[in-house]
Amino acid sequence: MKKISKNTRDILFLFIIVVLAIGMGLFIYGKGTELQEPFIPAINSVYRPFARKVHKYTTEKFNNITNKVHRFLKQYKIT
């Protein structure tokens, strides 16, 4: 049996904590009560900056890699 690396274990632990926190919040405030709505903006205020950073990072990396591939292909006149 293959051992799980420490980084993977830490990420899984944090993911489980986030899922449990969201589940508990929905359970406590849930089932159509008026208190459910303030919980969602709290998630969005944490999630959106993280999502923007991830989107920006992946876009920059994708553009960088495609630019390098394009320059390589042009250098050897493949395109």
Is the domain of 32 the same as that of 55? no
Please count the other Cβ atoms lying within 10 Å of the Cβ belonging to residue 36.
14
Please check the confidence at residue 6 and state whether its pLDDT lies above 90.
no
Of 17, 46, 50, 22, nearest to 36 by C-alpha is 22
Q: What pLDDT score was predicted for residue 39? A: 59
Question: Same domain, yes or no, for 51 and 76?
Answer: yes
How high is the pLDDT of residue 22? 79
Can you tell me the distance from the alpha carbon of 9 to that of 36, in angstroms, rounded to the nearest whole number? 31
Question: CA separation (Å) from 62 to 32, 69, 71, 79?
Answer: 42, 11, 14, 19
Phi-psi region of 7 (alpha: psi -120 to 50; beta: other; left: phi over 0): alpha
Q: Are residues 15 and 33 in the same domain?
A: yes
Q: Domain range for residue 24?
A: 1-37
Residue range 9-13: average pLDDT?
A: 87
The per-residue pLDDT for range 36-78, each reduced to its tens digit, is 455 566 666 666 777 778 888 888 999 999 999 999 888 887 7
- 26 plus 56 within the same structural domain: no
**Do 54 and 26 reside in the same domain of the chain?**
no
Query: How many separate domains does the chain show?
Result: 2
pTM for the full predicted model: 0.40
